[in-house]
Structure 1
Amino acid sequence: MISKTHILLSLIILSFSLNAIHVLSKDTGSESYIVACGSSSGGTDSDGRRWVPDSRFLSSSENSKTATAQYQDPSLPSQIPYMSARIFNSAASYKFFVSPRQRLLVRLHFYPSSYDGLDASNSYFDVIANGFSLLRNFSAAITTQALTQAYIMREFSLVPTQSGNLNITFVPSSQHDKSYAFVNGIEVISMPAEMFQPANMIGFQDQTIDVQSSSLQTMFRLNVGGQFIPTRNDSGLTRTWYDDSPYLFGAAFGVTFQAEKNVSIKYPSNLPEYIAPPNVYGTARSMGPNSKLNQNYNLTWVFTVDANFTYVVRLHFCELQLTRINQRVFDIFLNNQTAQQTADVIAWSGSIGVPVYKDYATFVNDRDGDEEIWVALHPSVSEKPEYYDSILNGLEIFKLNDTRGNLAGPNPVPSKMLQDAEAAAASTFSPPAGSKSKGEVIGIAGGAAGGAAVVAALCIAVYIKKKRKSGMDPGMGNWLPLYGNSNTSTISGKSNTGSSHLSSLAAGLCRHFSLPEIKHGTKNFDESQVIGVGGFGKVYKGIIDGGTKVAIKRSNPSSEQGVHEFQTEIEMLSKLRHRHLVSLIGFCEEDGEMILVYDYMANGTLREHLYKSKNPSLSWKQRLEICIGAARGLHYLHTGARYTIIHRDVKTTNILLDENWVAKVSDFGLSKTGPNLHQTHVSTMVKGSFGYLDPEYFRRQQLTEKSDVYSFGVVLFEVLCARPALNASLPKEQVSLADWAIHCLKKGILFEIIDPHLKSGPPINPECLKKFAETAEKCLADHGLERPSMGDVLWNLEFALQLHENPDGEAVAAQDKANDAYAMHNATLTIEEETVSSEATVDDLNTSAVFSQIVNPRGR
């Protein structure tokens, strides 16, 4: 028999354990269970949260076993909870004691890996919580593949339980052989019942949805106009808020801004801070300052959802610039239906800096095969506001359970292109027969289609060619999901670490500066030393070692963004050495500072010498030589290192010029290691700069070195025409430089749009100009397979230079000289890390007429 002493001791231990879990909740104001499934000891994640073992919550452990993942994907934010799992071969339940009549936030974490030799593709299962079906025939492997993620998290808000018990049951599917269920982590967090209020049902007058009596699934949670917000910076519920830019439709991305120092976020008495943190309300996206342009388009976000469910769309607003009613008034549309007319944030909130939110409900059916929610904002012209503009600070979308208590949708279908990525046919994109893009339907201000053509042409000028009808692959499912590998993680999970967590190789090849050294070299970051400002922060001219000029790039100390970019820049540049790559001298990572030290580039960026500058105009030969230098740097990245490196942010501001006008590629914060010999692409979240972004990469989220080639094609036309890649003030057909230059080239009028300084300068050999323009045009081909490699681009630019320097010479002689220059460049394709040569592959050589003149393609 078990003694009373043993029973008492067990109860004391259990009580202590549960209290330890509840201690975690003091920061959030609610009781919480944060459980690492399959772990014997638990642990702390990258956000500093303590996870406890799951065994005490299992109703029975007989139907389950613990396992450890055999492989840790680099994208996992931390080992806890993803590297351990609880495996179920038959139905089994977790039981949690919760407060009666308390709404619950439940998060389920899944990392489909190999556990004890089990094949993740065999795992299909249901998840049921207090009678609500959360997941049905769910496959984490299929879902992560379709969403191009390594791990996923599903978040649900469950109606209060009367019993004080929460039972979460995992049931392996009987429809599949060898099926099993698994879970890596479970969070159960009490949340305020007032979190949800009745929402107006759009399309039905005076009809509301009782959200409080429904269970919900969180589909999207976005910090509009701002950066990723981690769990530790949320207001009480450890939520994660993501960047909204991947969901914006076409090129109409508006402008982002944040609250000025004199504007503080002041929550009204009827809006508790747990609704959304100040970081959400302190940033915003608007349409921009051009009222005339704003009247001709909608600011639009597109989300893929499950059909046949009702959704609540929560929009967060906070006016950060204006102070009076009727200064900024706009209309809100959901799926081409009016959700709100004459929205005026100041009229709602009463003052600048005061947050407010609005909930709208809409039903998405499969009658037309439509599984999207479009959120569109448009200035309210009828109200004649002072500024024709709109604003949004945050956005959340929740799915409501249906009448059967079901929240489960189907597994996403991997896109045809994802499944057939290795086949050439996969590069052809077309929407399903008979389908209609929302771009054809939505129209200005949600009205008739009279202005829709204008909107569609403007919105998709960059990403999608005008001949296409849709900007997204309809088979993608939730192509950029809320909960996946899309956050910018911090080094060791902290942004203010005082020591470096970079690889030992990077640290060994790169000098570490102390913060006093940096301050001394920049005169304590004196504003007079600032020579540039970018997304990462300010760039200072500095002096080190008693006289060596350097460029010092300092992150914004008040921001948490850029930590991943900081780490990537050091990891990449510390291993690479090439004449046409900017040299990283060292870094500083102290007292929350992230600082990079580079060679000083006396002549700044390429863009500074093309337009909007008082600098003297570059000659045509200088431009050719600069383009050749940049192409050499990119070719080295693609073929000269051990692995293909894709820059992912090629643009004229990232091409720097030293005192001898030698071009050097810079800013490797977004760079990615490319596919290996057995892959055709890298699946990754879309990042880059508008105007330079590869439309195929944008559609498919499949990154290849040809994405850099596309961006470089825009750079070539920018060098030729001396105008920005995007200029919204121009007529709609001229907004995108890439589209406009190709149009003029095909019409035979390209000479009309080139830089006037080139027209008035020394004459350009027509054959040279033709070769340069054809090269740029090929770079901008719709499909990556049709684009040249950077080796092809480099050779043709060398050929164009020879044609320019020898206008009366024979083409064969120019080809020979181009071959010599190309061969000399190939000899430099070495990586300092291994001090061995590496030749590029010839698999992707383009054999079109334009790129077939190479006499000796060896080494490409």
Structure 2
Amino acid sequence: MGASNVHFLIWILCALCLRSSLSSGFSPDDNFLIDCGSTSNVTVGGRLFQPDGFFSDNLSNPNGKFVSTASKVSSSSPLFLFSHLFQTAKVFETTSEYNFKIKKQGRHWIRLYFYPFVYENFNLSLAKFSVSAQNITLLKEFQIESGSIIKEYSLNVISSNLVLTFTPMVNSFAFINALEVVSVPNELIPLVVPTVEKIVESLGNRALETVARVNMGNETVPPSNDTLSRLWVADGPFLMHNNQAVAGRFVSNLTRVNMTTDSEIMAPRSVYGTATQLGAEPDANANINVSWSFDVDPGYEYLIRFHFCDILDLSFGSLFFNVFVNSWMVKDHLDLNNVTSGIMGAPYVLDTIASSIDSSKFKISVGPSSFHEYSAAILNGLEIMKISDSRGSLDEPPFDLHSKNSSNVKVGLIAGLVAGLVAAVLVTLVVVLCRRRRKAGLVGYLKEEENFGVNGREGNYVIGSVGYKYPLAAILEATDHFSESLVIGHGGFGKVFKGMLRDNTEVAVKRGASKSQQGLAEFRTEIEMLSQFRHRHLVSLIGYCDEQNEMIIIYEYMEKGSLKDHLYSSELPSLSWKQRLEICIGSARGLHYLHTGSTKAIIHRDVKTANILLDQNYMAKVADFGLSKTGPEFDKTHVSTAVKGSFGYLDPEYLTTQQLTEKSDVYSFGVVMFEVLCGRPVIDPSLPREKVNLIEWVMKRKDRDELEEIVDACIVKQIKLDSLKKYVETAEKCLAECGMDRPTMGNVLWNLECALQLQGDERSSHGKESSSQADLSNHWEVSVLTTQFSTGSAVDIAGISMSKVFAQMVREDMR
């Protein structure tokens, strides 16, 4: 053979190898595929599974028994594809471990295959055991009596070893038919995801369990058709059919799908090329949706991933529709053409996090949008993944007290009962003392100048300084048994009702949906925070109730509702520019007090217009402290914590570093300032693409020196240019990418006062505006800066004590 022919063959081989590599899409660094109990290799879906013996170095218990069966999984089951893997098993009568040496840290899938069959003395349906990995409880006292199942988990492996532990229960055993440990692209699971309540949560180190992976269009997609070897079951069995839900229409159009490498990782072409469409004729006024129902475990949070791709050939224009989880609106007026930048057939992935609370069902729906005259709705694929809770568990009910035969649990239970008894005695004493000191007519308040705190035990607080524990009966009376006619607001925690106490005090009653882990944590935080401080620009706590599994917090009633309502509601009168300035000033004062009013700063972590409430005189008060955090120690610069906050208001530095500081509140307040100025939502998908994101749009207009165009039309004729410039300059500084470059809330407050002075304060003694007001504000800035540099300080104006400046500039009782 000539040299040229050899080179040609080498070139052909290289080309084939390259083609093979490209076609696979993703090649995992770690790829452990084990057919447990088998003595030979088996190929399933184009992947090679090897027997335990091949991985003997990875198994700590070589004495586990091999068992096998001739029976097969039913051919009607979606798992019939894996029949060969279900015919053998490994049985463990003592705690056993698989120890995998990990080549690349990051996201890995763990898939566990179970099929209980009978082999001699082993009836696998009697097995009862737990499985854990990397301190995460995957299965707790697990038992499968019949059928076959594949359990799939996603873990962020942060070490060079992954240990998978099987622990039989007393007088029982464990078994496994097959298992996989496979690395996956880290981008498959995002770092942070917005919840249906518009709060952002971090998934960085959380474990996930796949509850459902469904292909709409009623077609099953086997692992061999998926880059990441996922099984997508047909959606037909999950579709709902009743008078208010319409059966979907299955459609398929693979040629229309415009795939990219990234979209292949999220889902295969087979998923995006099929869909279930709203079966009715498109009509925005028809209150109908196409819906699917899924079983979930209550008490957990779930990552819900929607897969969309416009494969329809519509004669009436764009595809607009709404997306729901239960009664929660995940996305309204979703325009697939807009979110895919007009690329026909491009896939779009929408992630959200929802809590199952006390429900065991998720109802997933898509339906027509009232925003558009004609509206169709489709869904191509859906994934539901359970998120590990604060205990690192995926399979333990909240507040579980299992394994009572364990001596450790018995000791802990006895100790807990003793501690509870002691706590109950203390609680009773404190309540008696509190009641004796309570003033007549002031049922909700007890005055103490010091020792603000919360004492008590889990789920049972006694607030000795500012609040009072109300009986549930009194709250039911005050709210007419939580009448829907008294609902004045909704939030992630639950509904808010207007109430009337027996002494005719109007109150706002926030009722938590359930004592889930997330809800209980927010309930505790809210009470603890509000018990520590009182300020005229912070909503005051009146009391709370935790009877009969309820989580209820009672606040002072704010007659004018939220700032958000006054900015967007057409039913409410528009706020004037001076009112908006004064509301911003009041809110800034409240946040400034949080940041500086105690030894450690309090970081609100959810500053937004919905959490700024207005009393009957339109005085602003900051509310909702369920996500608040105590600031760093005096020798620290930040608090490291999971990312939480509201979508659109979240500090990008905190988002990427998970390092929380007071400057995170400053960023959110900067967003609020522009929201107040422009009179529109932070994110509005109904607007043209360049206007969807408020901050991006504002910055572009500012760069073009077109400030007047961003101002709310209701106030554009009221604003003086100098006041506008000062206001925008302040808001822009709040939005600096680096927290160190942002002002403190004290500095923000100073500049807002200047903006009000530049606008002209009608309560001033002169009663009219003049150019001297601008000179006055400039004079104060020069004076402060002169003082700063005369002392040799290297800090900016944000570091100066603002109290002396405010004392000179405005009266204490103003605003």
Per the shorter chain, which TM-score range?
A: 0.5 to 0.7
Residue pair 2:307, 2:350 contacting (<8 A) in 1 also: no
From 578, 599, 603, the counterpart of 1:642:
599
> How far apart in 2 are the matches of 1:106 and 1:154?
22
Structure 2 matches for 1:232-251, cutoff 5 A? 248=193
- How far apart are 1:511 and its partner, in Å? 0.7
Residues 539, 555 of structure 2: 8 Å contact kept: yes
Pair 1:779-2:742 in alignment:
no
Give deviations 1:621-665, integer Å, cap 9, x for gaps.
211111011011111222222322221111111000112221100
CA distance in 1 between counterparts of 2:475 and 2:699 reads 46
Question: Match for residue 555 of structure 1?
Answer: 512
Any conservation in 1 of the 2:64–2:91 contact (CA below 8 Å)? no
User: CA deviation digits over 1:663-705, x for unaligned, max 9?
Assistant: 1000111112222234333333322222212222223333222
Please tell me the residue identity of whatever aligns with 1:324: A
Separation in 2, partners of 1:609, 1:129 = 62
The one of the two structures with greater contact order (alpha-carbon pairs below 8 A, sep at least 6) is 1
User: What is the aligned counterpart of 1:721 among 654, 670, 678?
Assistant: 678
- Determine the structure 1 residue equivalent to 2:264: 334
**1:813 corresponds to 2:770:** no
* CA displacement 1:203-239 (0-9 Å, x = unmatched): xxxxxxxxx974134999xxxxxxxxxxxxxxxxxxx
1:686 maps to 2:643: yes
Q: Relative to structure 1, is the Cα distance of residues 733 and 449 closer, same or farther in structure 2, using a 3 angstrom cutoff?
A: closer
Q: Does 1:493 align with 2:399?
A: yes
Amino acid at match of 1:195: I
Q: Normalization by structure 1: what TM-score?
A: 0.51
Change (3 A) 1:100 1:787: farther
Measured after TM superposition, the shift of residue 160 of structure 1 is: 7.7
Taking the TM superposition and a 5 Å limit, the aligned residue runs for 1:192-211 are 194-196=148-150
Aligned to 2:309: 378
Mark the CA change 1:688 to 1:105 in structure 2 (over 3 Å): closer, same or farther: farther
Trace 1:423-822 onto structure 2 (pairs within 5 A).
451=343, 483=388, 485=390, 493=399, 501=458, 506=463, 509-556=466-513, 562-761=519-718, 764-805=719-760, 807-809=770-772, 811=774, 813-814=776-777
Aligned ranges for residues 342-421 of structure 1 at < 5 Å? 342-345=273-276, 353=292, 376-382=307-313
CA-CA distance at 1:788 after TM superposition = 1.6
Pick one of 239, 244, 248 that aligns with 1:325.
Answer: 248
**Does the CA contact (< 8 Å) of 1:328 and 1:388 recur in 2?**
no
Q: Normalization by structure 2: what TM-score?
A: 0.53
Helix, strand or coil for the counterpart of 1:717? Answer: helix
Tell whether the 8 Å contact from 1:255 to 1:285 is kept in structure 2 after alignment.
Answer: no
- 1:157 equivalent in alignment to 2:157: no
Matched residues in 1 for 2:500 and 2:784: separation?
A: 36
Aligned length: 537
- Give 1:810 deviation, angstroms: 5.2
CA distance in 2, matches of 1:577, 1:310: 54
Unpaired stretches in structure 2, ≥5 consecutive residues: 1-58, 70-85, 153-175, 199-208, 217-225, 280-289, 297-304, 327-335, 352-384, 402-419, 425-455, 761-768, 786-791, 808-815
Partner secondary structure for residue 723 of structure 1: coil
In structure 2, what residue type is equivalent to 1:493? F
| Alpha-carbon offset, residue 335 of structure 1 | 2.3
Matched AA of 2:748: V
DSSP-derived class of the 2:732 partner: helix
Please list the CA deviations of residues 140-196 of structure 1 after superposition, one character each: whole Å capped at 9, or x if unmatched.
xxx8xx99xxxxx99662678999799x9xxxxxxxxxxxx9979896745566214
Relative to structure 1, is the Cα distance of residues 581 and 817 closer, same or farther in structure 2, using a 3 angstrom cutoff?
Answer: farther
CA shift in 2, pair 1:720/1:197, >3 Å: closer
Superposed displacement of residue 735, structure 1: 0.5
Structure-1 residue corresponding to 2:155: none
Q: Flag the 1:160–1:797 CA change in 2: closer, same or farther, 3 A.
A: same
Classify 1:852/1:595 alpha carbon distance in 2 versus 1 (closer, same or farther; 3 Å).
closer
Cα 1:714–1:156 shift into 2, 3 Å: same
Equivalent-residue separation in structure 1 for 2:215 and 2:638 (angstroms) = 32
Rounded to whole Å, the distance in 2 between the matches of 1:521 and 1:729 is 40
- What is the CA-CA distance between 1:560 and the residue it aligns to? 7.9
> Cα RMSD over matched residues?
6.0
Q: Find the residue that maps to 2:543 and give its secondary structure.
A: strand
Tell me: CA distance 1:343–1:310, structure 2 relative to 1, closer, same or farther (3 Å): closer
Change in 2 beyond 3 A, CA 1:354/1:758: closer
1:686 partner amino acid: V
SS of the residue 1:633 aligns to:
helix
Identity of aligned residues (%): 36
Cα 1:325/1:99, change in 2 over 3 Å: same
| Secondary structure at 1:547 match in 2 | coil
Instruction: Answer whether contact 2:663 2:744 (CA < 8 A) is retained.
Output: yes
Mapped partners of 1:636, 1:491: distance in 2: 40
Query: Partners of 1:197 and 1:486 in 2: how far apart?
Result: 20
CA shift in 2, pair 1:184/1:604, >3 Å: closer
- Report deviation, 1:381: 2.3
Q: Secondary structure at the match of 1:538?
A: strand
Amino acid at match of 1:335: I
Separation in 2, partners of 1:758, 1:485: 47
Counterparts of 2:613 and 2:631, CA distance in 1: 24
Q: Which residue of 1 aligns with 2:179?
A: 215
- In structure 2, the partner of 1:437 is none
SS state at 1:334 partner: helix
Q: Is contact 1:106–1:157 with CA below 8 Å preserved after alignment?
A: no
Amino acid at match of 2:755: A
Whether contact under 8 Å (1:602, 1:659) holds in the other structure is yes
3-state SS in 1 of match to 2:605: coil
Distance 1:510 1:352 in 2: 44
Counterparts in 2 of 1:804 and 1:353: CA distance versus 1, 3 Å: closer
**Conservation of the 8 A alpha-carbon contact between 1:606 and 1:657:** yes
2: distance between equivalents of 1:389 and 1:624?
37
Q: Contact 1:712/1:779 (CA < 8 Å) preserved in 2?
A: yes
Determine if contact 1:510/1:584 at 8 Å carries over to the other structure.
yes
Conservation of the 8 A alpha-carbon contact between 1:379 and 1:390? no
Q: CA deviation at 1:576?
A: 1.8
Q: How many Å separate the matches in 1 of 2:345 and 2:721?
A: 38
Aligned to 2:10: none
Structure 1 pair 810–380 and aligned structure 2 pair: CA distance change class (3 A): same
Question: In structure 1, which of residues 115, 134, 145 is the aligned counterpart of residue 100 of structure 2?
Answer: 134
Question: In structure 2, what is the Cα distance between the partners aligned to 1:815 and 1:451?
Answer: 52
Matched-pair contact (CA < 8 Å) for 1:315–1:392: no
Q: Per the alignment, in what secondary structure is the counterpart of residue 473 of structure 2?
A: helix
Counterparts of 1:388 and 1:845, CA distance in 2: 52
Cα deviation for residue 800 of structure 1 reads: 1.4
Q: Is the 8 A contact 2:306 2:350 kept in 1?
A: no
Does the 8 Å CA contact 2:215/2:233 hold for their aligned counterparts? no
What is the alpha-carbon distance in structure 2 between the residues aligned to residue 780 and residue 581 of structure 1?
Answer: 23
SS in 2 for 1:574: helix
Deviation at 1:847, TM superposition (A): 6.5
Contact 1:649-1:689 at 8 Å conserved across structures? yes
CA distance in 2, matches of 1:759, 1:136: 61
Q: Which amino acid aligns with 2:100?
A: L
Conserved? CA contact 1:540–1:551, under 8 Å: yes
Aligned 8 A contact 1:816 1:855 in 2: no
TM-superposed CA distance for 1:718, in Å, is: 1.0
